[in-house]
């Protein structure tokens, strides 16, 4: 059964003593950024889980939820250049 987003977010923690306070998974030495990078590079869930035996599929989903929430609150203003007559 899939967890809701709030439950997922509890799996992402921040510890100033680990990776300078970057978001990590369940207090372990694996940064959300690293998991997202592996996914972006085309690694499958199975490959990632094999590389980190303590990791669970829900941890990876938590990383995706975290990233979606960050991007969802981001606002980008377009650069408008003056038009020439």
Is 11 within 8 Å of 23 (Cβ atoms)? no
Q: Walk me through the domains of the chain, giving residue ranges and CATH numbers.
A: 5-69 (1.10.10.10)
Confidence of residue 1 (pLDDT cuts 50, 70, 90): very low
What's the whole-number mean pLDDT along residues 36-62?
Answer: 96
Q: Token pair of 6, please? A: 């709030």
pLDDT at residue 83 above 90? no
Secondary-structure percent of the chain, ordered helix, strand, coil, rounded to 5: 45, 10, 45
* Number of Cβ atoms within 10 Å of the Cβ of 62: 24
Residues 6+ apart with CB under 8 A from 28: 54
Q: Would you say residue 34 has pLDDT above 60?
A: yes
User: Looking at residues 54-83, what average pLDDT do you find?
Assistant: 87
Please tell me the predicted confidence (pLDDT) of residue 5: 73
């Amino acid at each position: 059964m899939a967890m809701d987003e709030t439950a997922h977010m509890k799996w992402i923690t921040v510890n100033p003593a680990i990776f300078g306070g970057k978001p990590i998974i369940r207090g372990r030495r694996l940064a959300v950024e690293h998991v997202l990078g592996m996914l972006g590079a085309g690694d499958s869930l199975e490959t990632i889980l094999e590389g980190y035996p303590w990791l669970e599929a829900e941890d990876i989903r938590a990383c995706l939820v975290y990233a979606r929430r960050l991007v969802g609150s981001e606002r980008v203003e377009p650069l408008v250049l003056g038009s020439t007559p």
